[in-house]
Amino acid sequence: MPGPKSLASLGDIMQLAFVPSDFGAAIRHWTGVMGAGPFFLLPNVSLPGGRYRGEPSDPVFTMALGYWGDMQIELIRPENDAKSLYRGEYGVADVLHHVCVLVDSIAAARVRCEDIGAAIIFEAPVGDTGGVIYADPGTGPGTLVELLEPQAGTRELFAMMRDAAKDWDGSEPLRSLS
């Protein structure tokens, strides 16, 4: 069992995230080869109030979310050149970029990061009630941990996506949420 002061003790890893160099090819791979999906497209997401390494940053990115069993797969395409975890040192492509843990309190997650010496690479409010921290636990690019306190409705959205994957017949591998 994870120790009480570990990042793992904050919650279960619920997502594997990638920044593919070819977004379309990644969708085809995950749906056609791996059997994940369908994926839901969220275009031009931004996180106003974001800070990358302590400096203001407003990355814009498109993401596709789908389920592979109970594991959420996130595919990310940066849409602007803002300094962020998707560019530069942490912008590793075509390998695992980060894992995500849903947390009940972003404040408690921040304290845990401080307790274990994990560097906060990016942080931002999420909607009116949530927040996100991307932490480097000391192992560098490709091993970031996203700690997400979801805003209202996010857990239900994820449940809808997971349910869509349960009996998915391969049709409409990429879907819009609108």
pLDDT tens profile 78-98: 999 999 999 889 999 999 999
The closest of 83, 76, 98, 95 to 146, measured between CA atoms, is 98
Instruction: Answer whether residue 41 is part of any domain.
Output: yes
In this structure, what CATH number is given to the domain that contains residue 66? 3.10.180.10
pLDDT, position 178: 67
Decide: helix, strand or coil at residue 156: helix
Instruction: Answer whether residue 80 is part of any domain.
Output: yes
The confidence band for 3, taking pLDDT boundaries of 50, 70 and 90, is: low
Instruction: Answer whether residue 42 is part of any domain.
Output: yes
Residues 132-140: contacts with CB under 8 Å, at least 24 apart: 132/47, 132/106, 133/106, 133/109, 134/85, 134/98, 135/7, 136/90, 137/7
What pTM was estimated for this model as a whole?
Answer: 0.95
Instruction: Answer whether residue 158 is part of any domain.
Output: yes
Host H or E run for residue 51: strand 51-52
Domain interval for residue 84 = 16-167
Q: Is the pLDDT of residue 1 over 60?
A: no
Instruction: Answer whether residue 5 is part of any domain.
Output: no
Number of domains the chain is built from? 1
d(CA 20, CA 169): 25
The confidence band for 7, taking pLDDT boundaries of 50, 70 and 90, is: confident
29: its two tokens: 């791979």
pLDDT, position 156: 96
Q: What is the DSSP letter of 150?
A: P
